[in-house]
């Protein structure tokens, strides 16, 4: 069955550093991958979408890579700020398919 | 613009009592609708999704059910709650279009505590 793995341990980094979060998937070949941000007690909010033919996607301080050979996506936040502290969820999928999420990685940026 | 509403935001229910959570979407028509559950410290679990009125797909066998009586209304129900039903319930929608985007917009969530 399809499996999505994100680092279950919280990631703690210092303000100004680059945060890198990992999303690995097995047993399927998604054509797309999305990243969402979830704050405590709130619903997830869409951040970025990357397609299988796009190796990299950027949006302001965010960068996402998608390696279909490694079956992995990396999510980078450069010049991190305490306001970036949240849980980040990945969702690899195919067109028309249901969105299944990884368990998320909690990021904590310390001032 | 489109908006999604969920209620109630918080509820505490005894074991064995019924449940009804409601979700409505405004500003769009024929959306795809989803119910997810998030247990404490866990990821999102897809419970149900619907592509149209009366069309419900269940992802996880359990004592919950979903209904879509109107185009933009999605209801999550239970006849008898279990302790394990406690969690954060999220409704989400996306446009009914042939696209790779599949971007979901989530509601604010309903936190259920079963005692």
* Averaged pLDDT, A4-8: 90
Mean pLDDT on A66-93: 96
Q: Is B93 on the interface with A (CB under 8 A)?
A: no
Query: What is the model's pLDDT at position B61?
Result: 67
Tell me what pLDDT residue A14 has: 97
User: Which of A30-34, A74-78, B64-68, B85-89 bottoms out in mean pLDDT, i.e. has the lowest?
Assistant: A30-34
Tell me the HSE value of B33 on the side-chain side, using a 13 A CA sphere. Answer: 32
Cα B33 to Cα B94: distance, rounded to the nearest angstrom: 7
Chain A residues touching chain B at CB-CB below 8 Å: 31-32, 34, 36, 41-46, 49, 51, 89, 93, 95-104
Q: A48: nearest CA in chain B?
A: B103
Q: Hey, are the CB atoms on B106 and A100 less than 8 Å from each other?
A: no
What whole-number distance in Å separates Cα of residue A76 and Cα of residue A61?
8
- Inter-chain residue contact B109 with A89, CB threshold 8 Å: no
Distance CA A10, CA A6 (A): 10
User: Is the pLDDT reported for residue B100 higher than 70?
Assistant: no
Question: Rounded to whole angstroms, how far apart are CA atoms B75 and A4?
Answer: 28
Mind listing the pLDDT tens digit for each residue in B36-86?
999 877 789 999 999 999 999 998 867 899 999 999 999 999 999 999 999
When comparing pLDDT for A95 and A73, which is higher?
A73
A-interface mutation test, from B10, B102, B106, B113, most A Cβ less than 10 A away? B102
Minimal CA–CA distance to A58: which of A78, A40, A36?
A78
Count Cα atoms within 13 angstroms, Cβ side, for A67.
Answer: 10
């Amino acid at each position: 069955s399809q499996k999505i793995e994100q680092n279950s341990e919280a990631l703690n980094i210092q303000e100004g550093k680059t945060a890198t979060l990992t999303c690995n998937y097995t047993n399927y070949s998604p054509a797309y991958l999305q990243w969402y941000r979830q704050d405590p007690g709130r619903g997830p909010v869409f951040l970025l979408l990357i397609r299988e033919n796009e190796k990299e996607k950027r949006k302001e301080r965010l960068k996402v890579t998608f390696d279909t050979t490694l079956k992995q996506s990396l999510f980078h936040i450069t010049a991190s700020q305490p306001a970036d502290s949240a849980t980040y969820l990945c969702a690899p999928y195919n067109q028309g398919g249901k969105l299944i999420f990884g368990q998320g990685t909690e990021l904590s940026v310390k001032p | 613009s489109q908006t999604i509403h969920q209620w109630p935001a918080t509820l505490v229910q005894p074991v064995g009592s019924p449940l009804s959570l409601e979700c409505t979407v405004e500003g769009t028509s024929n959306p795809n609708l989803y119910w997810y559950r998030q247990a404490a410290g866990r990821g999102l679990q897809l419970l149900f999704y619907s592509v149209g009125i009366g069309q419900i797909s269940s992802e996880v066998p359990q004592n919950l059910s979903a209904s879509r009586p109107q185009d933009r209304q999605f209801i999550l129900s239970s006849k008898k709650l279990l302790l394990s039903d406690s969690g954060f319930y999220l409704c989400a929608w996306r446009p009914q279009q042939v696209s790779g985007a599949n971007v979901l917009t989530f509601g604010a969530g309903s936190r259920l505590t079963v005692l």
